[in-house]
Structure 1
């Protein structure tokens, strides 16, 4: 499997979800920060945590 990288977020909640899902903050060759996931399972866990927040906000 290939690692997944997405755009870095300064939002502390997003960063907490990153850690909870097993992801980490990494840097591109140009020195830009990104959210890094070793596999799709970590990425999916991150997305689920973000969706949970959205659902709770709508209540």
Structure 2
């Protein structure tokens, strides 16, 4: 499985969720910061913490 990268957020709360999920801040080849997740589980945890997981919609 390939790592997941999403757009960097300067929001401190998003960065806290990133750390809580096990993700890291990384840089693209062009030097742009991104949120980096090694696994799908880390990404899903990040989305849950943000309250944006699709399966949260039915709660």
Deviation of 1:33 after TM superposition, in Å, equals 0.1
The normalised TM-score by structure 2 is 0.86
Structure 1 residue aligned with 2:29? 29
Provide the rounded CA distance (Å) in 2 between the counterparts of 1:35 and 1:4. Answer: 8
TM-score where L is the length of structure 1? 0.86
Structure 2: how far apart are the matches of 1:2 and 1:27? 16
The structure richer in helix per residue is 1
1:43 aligns with 2:43: yes
Unpaired stretches in structure 2, ≥5 consecutive residues: 53-59
- For structure 1, list consecutive stretches of 5 or more residues without a partner in the other structure: 53-59
Shift of 1:25: 0.1
C-alpha distance in 2 between matches for 1:47 and 1:15: 12
Paired residue total: 52
